[in-house]
Chain A
Amino acid sequence: MADTTTGRKPVSWRMLDAVDRLVAAAWPRGAHGMNGYLFILPAVALVFILIVGLGYMADYSLHELDLATYRLKDEYSLANYAAFFERPVYLRILGRSLLAAVIVTAVSIVLAFPYAYLMVRTQSAAIRKFLLIALFLPFFIGQVVRAYGWLIILGKEGFINSMATALGLPPLDLIYNYPAVIFGLVQYMLPFAVLLLTPALAAIGEEVELASESLGANWVRTFRHVLIPMATPGLVGASVVVFTLTLTDFAMPQILGGGTSDFIANAIYDSYFRISNLGLGSALSIILVVIGSALVALIFMIAGTGTLGISGRNK
Chain B
Amino acid sequence: MSTQNRATGLSRRRFLATSALAAGSLAMPRIVRAQEPEKPGELIVRAWGGAWGDALKEGVTDPFTEMTGIPVRLDFTEDNEIKPKIWAAVDQGRVPPIHVNWDTTTNATISALRGVTVDLGDLKGLDKLLPIAKPVGLDGWPLVNTYSYVYVCAYRPEAFPDGAPKSWRVMLEERLKGRVALYNDGIGFNPIAVLAGGGTVKDIPDNMEPGYEFYRALKKNDPLLGEDPDFTTWFQNGEIDIACTISVNARAAKQNGIDVEWTVPEEGCKVDTDGLWIPKGLPENEEYWAKQLVQYAIGRDAQEKWCAALGLPPVYPGLEPPADLVGDPAYPTTPEDFKKLVRIPSPVLVENQPVWFARFKEIMQG
Contact = CB atoms under 8 A, between A and B. Distances in A.
Contacts of B169: none
Contact of B114 (A69, A88, A157): A69
A18 to B, nearest CB: 42
Given A156-B238, A262-B365, A176 B178 contact: yes
Contacts of B365: 89, 92-93, 260-262
A88 B363 CA distance: 10
A273 B80 contact: yes
A70 interface: yes
Interface string B203-225: 00000000000000001001111
A138 interface: no
Interface in B288-322: none
Given A155-B239, A157-B237, A260-B222, A276 B110 contact: yes
Given A69-B113, A155-B239, A157-B237, A258 B366 contact: no
B110 A70 contact: yes
Contacts of B140: none
A71 B81 CA distance: 16
B350 to A, nearest CB: 7
Interface in A129-175: 151, 155-158, 173
Interface in B5-53: none
A87 B358 CA distance: 9
Contacts of A157: 237-239
Contact of A156 (B110, B219, B237): B237
B357 A259 contact: no
B354 interface: yes
Interface string B113-147: 11100000000000000000000000000000000
Interface in B335-361: 350-351, 353-354, 357-358, 361
A276 B237 contact: no
A275 B357 contact: yes
- Would you call the interface of chain A mostly helix, strand, loop, or mixed? loop
B160 to A, nearest CB: 18
Contacts of A70: 110-111, 113-114
A214 B224 CA distance: 59
A67 B351 CA distance: 6
Contacts of B184: 259
A272 interface: yes
A176 B224 contact: yes
A68 interface: yes
A270 interface: yes
B227 to A, nearest CB: 9
A173 B178 contact: yes
B103 to A, nearest CB: 13
A67 B239 contact: no
Contacts of A259: 184, 224-226, 364
B81 to A, nearest CB: 6
Nearest to B350: A67
B185 interface: yes
B113 A68 contact: yes
Interface string A277-299: 11000000000000000000000
B84 interface: yes
Contact-size category for B: 20 to 34
Contacts of A176: 178, 224, 239
B58 interface: no
Nearest to A67: B351
A174 B234 CA distance: 14
Of the candidates A89, A259, A272, the one having the most CB atoms from chain B within 10 angstroms of its own CB is A259
Interface in B54-69: none
A315 interface: no
Interface in B176-192: 178, 184-185
A29 interface: no
B266 interface: no
Contacts of B84: 272-273, 276, 278
A313 interface: no
Given A259-B226, A273-B83, A276-B83, A89 B358 contact: yes
Given A275-B354, A276-B84, A258 B238 contact: no
A179 B351 CA distance: 36
A151 B84 CA distance: 31
Contacts of A272: 84
Contacts of A173: 178, 222
B114 A71 contact: yes
A306 to B, nearest CB: 41
A177 B365 CA distance: 11
Contacts of B233: 151
A224 interface: no
B364 A260 contact: yes
Interface string A54-70: 00000000000101111
Contacts of A155: 237, 239
B81 A273 contact: yes
Interface of B: 78, 80-81, 83-84, 110-111, 113-115, 178, 184-185, 219, 222-226, 233, 237-239, 350-351, 353-354, 357-358, 361-362, 364-366
Given A260-B364, A273-B83, 7 more contacts: A65-B354, A68-B113, A71-B114, A259-B225, A260-B222, A262-B361, A273-B78
24 contacts: A65-B354, A67-B350, A68-B113, A70-B114, A88-B362, A92-B365, A157-B239, A158-B237, A173-B178, A176-B178, A177-B222, A258-B222, A258-B226, A259-B184, A259-B225, A259-B226, A260-B222, A260-B364, A261-B365, A267-B361, A273-B83, A273-B84, A275-B358, A276-B80
Interface of A: 65, 67-71, 87-89, 92-93, 151, 155-158, 173, 176-177, 258-262, 267, 270, 272-278
- 8 closest A-B pairs by beta carbon, nearest first, are A259-B225, A273-B80, A89-B362, A259-B184, A275-B354, A70-B114, A258-B224, A157-B238
